[in-house]
Amino acid sequence: MERSMDLETAKRTVDFLYEQSDGQCVATFFGGEPLLKFQLMKEIIEYSNQKYSRSIQFRMSTNGTLLDRAVIEYLKEIAQNENLPLQAKLGNSDSHSLLKFHNKGVVIDGKSVLISSINWSNNSVTENREIGLFIVNQNLAAFFESSFLYDWKDDVTSPHANAGENVTVIEGTEVYLSAIGSYDNVGIIRYLWDIDYDGQFELQGLIVTWQFEKPGNYTIILFVEDVWGNNDTDQMNIVVVRSFIVSNEEPLSPLWPLILIFILILALSVAVFAMFRRKAVNTSECF
C-alpha cells in the first residue's frame, strides 16, 4: 500500500524542526523522487515562509526526470518575489541532438570554472567520492561560459538571409530593399541594413527604401537575427548610373554652344557632299 506524508503531518514536522533549532535551519527534500509530491513541497515551503519568515532554508535532491515547465515556472516565481538574480529553464536537448545535459559545473565571474560530475549534495562528495576540478583561468572560463550559453538556447539553427538580386538604377531613384526571401525555422526578429558598407546599420525593417544621390557601385549588407541570437548575413550590389536628363535648375555646360556648332557644320558638310555627288552622277548619265 502506498504511504505518503499529508500536509498536516508535514506542518508538524516543520514546527518541530524550527523548535529544535536556534532559529536558522535547513530542510532537504529527498527520496525517492521528491518531485512526485511537488504540490505538497510547495505547500510546505509556503507554510514555513509565512509562519517562520523564511528562517528555514529548503533544498531538494532530484534526478531531474520530473522537471517540467511547472517546476521551472515555480522557481522563476520565487526568484521574482525574492528579487533574486536567477533564471531557470528546461534545456532543449533535442535541438542540440543530445539525450541529456549531464555536466555539473559553475562559471564564476568569467574568470574561474568548476568542472565536475558532483551532484549538489554533501553525500555526493563524502559518500560517493565524486570530485570536481576548480580552475582559475579566464580563457578556460570563457570557453565553458560560451558552451553553457550555447546549451541554454532552445534553437541553434541559424536563419537564412536573402538581400535580393543585384540591380542597376539611375541616380536620385528611390530603391526598395526587401529581405522577404529570408527565412528561419522559428522566426526572424531583426532585419538590419548596412547601406554604405561601413559596418554600421542605417536602416531596419523587412522592406526599406533608400535614395542614392551619386553614381557608383554600392554593396548592401543585410543582417538578420532570430529570437535566440542566431544570425546570418547576405549582400547585394546596386549600380547607380548618371541621369542624362538635364534639369531646368542646372545651367548648361559652356561647351554646349561649341558642340551645337560642330553638329551644324557636320550636317552642312554632309549635305554639300551629297549635292555634289548627285551632280556628278547626273553628268555621267548625259554622256
pLDDT tens-place string over residues 149-159: 888 888 999 99
Cα 261 to chain centroid, rounded: 65
Helices (H) and strands (E) in the chain, counts: 6, 12
Domain with CATH 2.60.40.10 in the chain: 157-276
Least confident range from 80-84, 108-112, 219-223: namely 80-84
For residues 42-64, average pLDDT: 88
Confirm if 211 and 174 have CB atoms less than 8 A apart. Answer: yes
Q: Say what the alpha-carbon torsion angle 211, 183, 162, 227 is, to the nearest 10 degrees.
A: 70
Confirm if 188 and 182 have CB atoms less than 8 A apart. Answer: yes
If one counts every other C-beta atom within 10 angstroms of the C-beta of residue 80, the result is 10
pLDDT digits (tens, 9 = 90+) for 251-276: 555 666 777 777 778 777 777 777 77
Is the pLDDT confidence value at 250 over 80? no
CATH number assigned to the domain covering 91-154: 3.30.870.10
For residues 195-224, average pLDDT: 94
Determine whether 4 is exposed, middle or buried from the number of CB atoms within 10 Å of its CB (0-12, 13-18, 19+): exposed
pLDDT digits (tens, 9 = 90+) for 117-130: 777 667 777 887 78
> pTM to 2 decimals?
0.61
If one counts every other C-beta atom within 10 angstroms of the C-beta of residue 96, the result is 15
pLDDT digits (tens, 9 = 90+) for 9-41: 999 999 998 988 887 888 888 877 889 999 999
3-state helix, strand, coil in the chain (%, to 5): 35, 25, 40
Is the pLDDT confidence value at 241 over 70? yes
Q: Across all residues in the chain, what is the average pLDDT?
A: 85
Nine-digit cell string for 207: 522592406
Domain with CATH 3.30.870.10 in the chain: 91-154
Q: DSSP character for 78?
A: H
Beta bridge partners of 114: 106, 134
E-strand ranges in 3-103 read 25-29, 56-60
Superfamily assignment of 157-276 in CATH? Immunoglobulins (2.60.40.10)
Comparing CA positions, the residue from 209, 141, 144, 202 lying closest to residue 174 is 209
